[in-house]
């Protein structure tokens, strides 16, 4: 196998040397080395570049279009030192075109044509007005072989080139441009890059997009929980927009995918107030989308946030945390926390920075009170002053905490009169309603019962004697402040140290 490869290599080298020798002896010059062919995107002119032929007595170079059935002579450059030539060739504005070169000597002899041929990049585009996107396609550059490193896509913005896609591979030939506005004239061209940094460009392809009549603006003002199952949303509209069709879309996360839940066919005026009914209580994010003529949402407002607090009950405090209000254009000014206790109305509890989304409520001053109902909270997000001199307030869902159900029951007590742990009783953060405790020994004899949550068992039975040391059983029932019946049962130990 190795000998065969060597033979093929020797034959190839011999053939090339023979061709060069024959060409020179026969008076046929050697061709130049074809470097690149590029199109000026602005003018459409073609520029061909090459390296000089090593032959003597070169008079110039001939440029051909390489056709399937032969070669068509385009022009001759009568300058033996020239390495590039620019010319107009309108065919490259409608398709990819292959070019080859040849050397012309002073005796009128022509060299063989360059191999391989170099083919221009032809760029075209398709505009999808329904989805507000443009698909840009191009033919792959030919002539560099494996030295072609890749492409980049350039958008011409009023004569200023802007790269909108870089690092495209040598195998790429399409790119999808999204969020295209209706009305402007969009122009694109492609740049091919060689491994050593040499670049060529394609023709420029342009398309005038259609005015879509979409609103100049849509603003989500606020999201207000009017109950824990309904959110009222308020949007400001552009009343002068020809299109009056919108859809309400929602997502379960601030970075998630939005899905349409309602459509509005002919909105009039400059405001929309609508209500969304929730299937479950959890954070939601809303936006209003303007529909194009195909019924597709292509322009969206900022998001409005349905805030849902979460609570946790500690020994002397209730901790709140909520999802931050998102994307007010004017920014958020502050959060205001409101609290109600039992049947009392909500009162302002705390105002804090718009960057802080948690709060700890110290409830130690309420401990020991016999409260009716829960302690409940809601949070208001307050915006900065908007461009139309309005301040918006978005109210969260209401979260309630049944604090009277929080009870600690010891597993042992020592009634020895030392003032420490001398009686057995549950400890409540807040006094319950309809309280009753019963304590039994292991034989099932009732040794103590009470309806006073402040009274505990001192370890004595009905005749005033000390109960026997050991394990006892308790049954406790009470009604929480929220009206919930709570039952507790278990074992504890009576110990005489």
pLDDT at 6 over 60: no
Secondary-structure class of domain 405-494 per CATH: mainly beta
Helix, strand or coil, per DSSP, at residue 9: helix
pLDDT at 2 over 80: no
Q: What is the DSSP letter of 481?
A: T
pLDDT tens, 453-487? 889 999 999 888 999 999 999 999 998 777 788 89
pLDDT tens, 343-402? 889 999 999 999 999 999 998 887 766 666 689 999 999 999 988 889 999 999 999 988
pLDDT (mean) for 255-272: 93
Rounded Cα gap, residues 352 and 354, in angstroms: 7
Q: Where are the domains of the chain?
A: 26-119, 123-208, 218-305, 307-401, 405-494
Nearest to 190 by CA among 209, 208, 174: 174
Nearest to 152 by CA among 167, 142, 162, 141: 167
138 vs 22, higher pLDDT = 138
pLDDT at 7 over 50: no
Rounded Cα gap, residues 103 and 27, in angstroms: 12
- Domain spanning 218-305: CATH 2.60.40.10: yes
Query: Which pLDDT does position 466 carry in this prediction?
Result: 92
Query: Which pLDDT does position 451 carry in this prediction?
Result: 94
Domains 307-401 and 405-494 share a fold: yes
Q: What is the DSSP string of 330-362?
A: T-EEEEEEEEEETTSPPEEEEEEETT--EEEEE
Rounded Cα gap, residues 283 and 257, in angstroms: 14
What CATH fold (topology level) applies to the domain 26-119?
Immunoglobulin-like (2.60.40)
Relative to beta strand 160-168, strand 199-201 is unpaired
Q: What is the DSSP string of 49-107?
A: EEE--S-SSEEEEEEEEEETTEEEEEEEE--TT--EEEE--GGGGTS--EEEEEEEETT
pLDDT (mean) for 257-271: 94
Q: For 307-401, CATH number?
A: 2.60.40.10
Q: What percent of the chain has pLDDT over 90?
A: 72
Q: For 123-208, CATH number?
A: 2.60.40.10
């Amino acid at each position: 196998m190795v000998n065969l490869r060597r033979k093929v290599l020797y034959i190839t080298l011999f053939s090339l040397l023979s061709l060069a020798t024959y060409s020179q002896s026969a008076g046929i010059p050697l061709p130049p080395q074809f470097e690149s062919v590029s199109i000026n995107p602005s003018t459409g002119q073609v520029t061909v570049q090459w390296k000089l032929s090593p032959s003597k007595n070169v008079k110039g170079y001939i440029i051909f279009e390489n056709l399937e059935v032969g070669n068509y002579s385009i022009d001759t450059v009568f300058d033996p030192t020239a390495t590039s030539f620019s010319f107009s060739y309108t065919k490259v504005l409608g398709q990819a075109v292959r070019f080859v070169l040849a050397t012309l000597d002073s005796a009128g002899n022509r060299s063989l044509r360059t191999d391989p041929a170099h083919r221009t990049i032809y760029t075209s585009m398709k505009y999808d007005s329904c989805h507000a996107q443009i698909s840009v396609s191009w033919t792959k550059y030919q002539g560099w072989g494996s030295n072609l490193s890749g492409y980049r896509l350039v958008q011409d913005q009023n004569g200023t080139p802007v790269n909108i896609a870089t690092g495209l591979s040598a195998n790429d030939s399409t790119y999808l441009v999204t969020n295209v506005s209706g009305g402007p004239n969009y122009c694109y061209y492609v740049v091919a890059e060689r491994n050593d940094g040499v670049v060529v460009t394609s023709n420029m392809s342009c398309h005038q997009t259609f005015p879509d009549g979409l609103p100049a603006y849509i603003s989500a003002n606020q999201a207000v929980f009017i109950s824990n199952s309904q959110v009222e949303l308020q949007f400001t509209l552009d009343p002068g927009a020809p299109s009056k069709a919108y859809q309400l879309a929602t997502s379960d996360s601030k970075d998630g995918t939005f899905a349409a839940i309602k459509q509005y066919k002919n909105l009039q005026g400059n405001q929309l107030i609508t209500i969304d009914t929730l299937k479950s209580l959890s954070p939601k994010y809303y936006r209003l989308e303007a529909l194009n003529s195909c019924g597709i949402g292509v322009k969206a407002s900022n998001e409005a946030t349905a805030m849902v607090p979460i609570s946790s009950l500690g020994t002397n405090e209730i901790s709140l945390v909520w999802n931050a209000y998102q994307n007010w254009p004017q920014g958020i000014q502050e959060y205001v926390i409101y609290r109600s206790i039992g049947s009392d109305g909500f009162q302002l509890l705390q105002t804090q920075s718009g960057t802080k989304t948690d709060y700890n409520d110290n409830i130690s001053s309420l401990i020991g009170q016999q409260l009716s109902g829960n302690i409940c909270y809601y949070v208001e997000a307050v915006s900065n002053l908007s461009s139309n001199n309005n301040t918006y307030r978005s109210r969260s869902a209401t979260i309630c905490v049944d604090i009277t159900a929080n009870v600690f029951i010891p597993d042992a007590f020592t009634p020895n009169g030392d003032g420490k742990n001398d009686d057995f009783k549950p400890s409540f953060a807040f006094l319950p309603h309809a309280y009753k405790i019963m304590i039994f020994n292991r034989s099932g004899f009732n040794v103590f019962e009470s309806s006073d949550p402040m009274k505990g068992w001192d370890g004595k039975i009905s005749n005033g004697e000390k109960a026997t040391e050991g394990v006892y059983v308790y049954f406790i029932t009470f009604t929480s402040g929220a009206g919930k019946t709570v039952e507790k049962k278990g074992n504890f130990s009576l110990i005489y140290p």
